[in-house]
């Protein structure tokens, strides 16, 4: 049978872009459909604009530090409209750049919604097209809890477009999205209240990361209400009134209410049932995601329909941009590059851009002890105030931790809370991925004076 395309990709986010360009480089005729800005969650409403906000939120602390070093720091003010507009301009610049990359790669971009009619047919832009293979890379979307008045709340999609800086923002959610925005908005000068259902934020991360970040957030003036749920939201003249139940029952009134209670695969309207693609309902939470209706795939990102594949957050494996890119490229290499590749989901490093920042790779302490036994695991940990904060006398703390298998001396996991944690952990992740031992770490000469040297001096 002759098809219109060798490959049709639904979704021009990180995974879809990587797969389409790689497949086209092997000579495949490829089209990609996207109804929103090209770039996906990461470029449009995730990693990129969020990190720009993280950078901006650090300046007040830096001004305070500068004064401790003798600099005369005058009054400072944030021009919110200029700030938000600059971020939006950068997002649109990057989106246009990705369109250019598609054109140069020979991938046809169809700026329209797409849905499946069967395992080889797609409805897009008011017509039907066929493809030998179809790749679904539509990512995920934020969800809201089903409580009265929830329509008054915003999600992480809308927070980048607030026309005015809120004086007080309330945040529901203990995952990395809620925690990151709590720190961002506090750093930008807002009063912040974060409401969480349990004692600690960041379920799924190592316990020392969870406690280290939470303590730091509280020290920075974020109010964290624990073991509490929001039962309703009402718009009143003073602001949005959140009724609470649990440990805290006094209502909270805020200008803006951000809901960050999880994300789900963005499968609605795809026509998966018409193509008979299997989904798996799930309530598993990890690293801030509550999931449902993920597309089932094998190690080659193949669904139960042999010609339909899926990568990225829609499969709910590891919901990170570099993972989606790796899955997309591995798919293209396997299907069009005459090489059968499996993307490894083991020892994937990740970071949480809170203040303090955190990064991690490999096993948590709890995971390692559960798999190998308490008596087989050695823990190396250090906690200190970095030199940078001595003159300003700021009470910032860094924590570093190694999880080591006692019998083999292999480093199973590494964790850090503190400045530049992501930058430092990227190098540590290489060592962990290669199977480095604690003796390898000990034999490495540290760079002095630096915080990173603590990873090779822990005894």
Q: Which residues are catalytic?
A: 448
- Burial grade of 22 (CB within 10 A; 0-12, 13-18, 19 or more): buried
Sheet containing strand 350-352, edge to edge, reads: 350-352, 358-362, 411-417, 398-405, 377-384
Residues 313 and 333: their CA atoms lie apart, in Å, by: 20
**Cα 291–Cα 297–Cα 301 angle in degrees, nearest 5:** 115
Taking Cα atoms as reference points, which of 334, 165, 354 lies closest to residue 260? 354
CA angle 363, 367, 372 (to 5 degrees): 100
**Which of 137, 190, 196, 184 has the alpha carbon at shortest distance from 156?**
184
CA atoms within 13 A on the CB side of 340: 3
Closest C-alpha among 177, 175, 140, 137 to residue 326: 137
Residue 235 DSSP symbol: E
| Ramachandran angles phi, psi of 71, nearest 5° | -75, 140
Contact, 137 vs 13, CB < 8 A?
yes
d(CA 429, CA 412): 10
Instruction: State the Cα–Cα distance between residues 148 and 299, nearest whole angstrom.
Output: 41
């Amino acid at each position: 049978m002759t098809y219109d395309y060798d490959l049709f990709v639904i979704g021009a986010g990180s995974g879809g872009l990587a797969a389409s360009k790689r497949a086209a480089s092997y000579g495949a005729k490829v089209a990609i459909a996207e109804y929103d800005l090209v770039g996906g969650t990461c470029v449009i409403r995730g990693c990129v604009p969020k990190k720009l906000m993280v950078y901006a939120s650090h300046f007040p602390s830096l001004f305070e530090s500068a004064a401790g070093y003798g600099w005369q720091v005058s009054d400072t003010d944030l021009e919110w409209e200029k700030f938000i507009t600059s971020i939006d301009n950068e997002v649109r610049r990057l989106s246009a750049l990705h369109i250019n990359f598609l054109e140069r790669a020979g991938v046809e971009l169809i700026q329209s919604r797409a849905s499946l009619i069967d395992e080889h047919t797609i409805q897009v832009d008011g017509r039907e097209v066929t493809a030998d293979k179809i790749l679904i890379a539509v990512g995920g979307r934020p969800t809201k809890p089903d409580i009265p008045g929830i329509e008054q709340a915003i999600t992480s999609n809308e927070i980048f477009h607030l026309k005015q800086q809120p004086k007080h923002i309330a945040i529901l959610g203990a995952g990395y999205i809620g925690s990151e925005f709590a720190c961002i908005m506090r750093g930008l000068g807002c009063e912040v209240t974060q409401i969480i259902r349990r004692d600690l934020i960041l379920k799924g991360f190592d316990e020392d990361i969870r406690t280290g970040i939470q303590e730091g957030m509280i020290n920075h003036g974020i109010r964290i209400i624990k073991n509490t749920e929001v039962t309703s939201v009402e718009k009143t003249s003073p602001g949005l009134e959140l009724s609470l139940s649990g440990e805290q029952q006094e209502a909270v009134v805020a200008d803006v209410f951000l809901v960050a209670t999880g994300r789900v695969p963005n499968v609605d309207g795809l026509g998966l049932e018409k193509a008979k693609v299997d989904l798996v309902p799930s309530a598993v939470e990890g690293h801030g995601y509550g999931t449902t209706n993920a597309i089932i795939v094998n190690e080659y990102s193949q669904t139960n329909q042999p010609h339909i594949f899926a990568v990225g957050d829609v499969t709910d494996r590891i919901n990170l941009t570099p993972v989606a890119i790796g899955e997309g490229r591995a798919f293209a290499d396997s299907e069009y590059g005459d090489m059968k590749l499996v993307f490894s989901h083991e020892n994937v490093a990740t970071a949480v851009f809170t203040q303090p920042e955190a990064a991690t790779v490999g096993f948590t302490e709890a995971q390692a002890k559960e798999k190998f036994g308490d008596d087989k695991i050695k823990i190396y940990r250090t906690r200190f105030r970095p030199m940078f904060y001595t003159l300003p006398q700021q009470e910032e703390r860094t924590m570093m931790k190694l999880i080591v298998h006692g019998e083999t001396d292999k480093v199973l996991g590494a964790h850090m809370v503190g400045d530049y944690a992501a930058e430092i952990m990227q190098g540590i992740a290489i060592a962990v991925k290669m199977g480095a031992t604690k003796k390898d770490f000990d034999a490495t000469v540290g760079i002095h004076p630096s915080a990173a040297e603590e990873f090779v001096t822990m005894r």
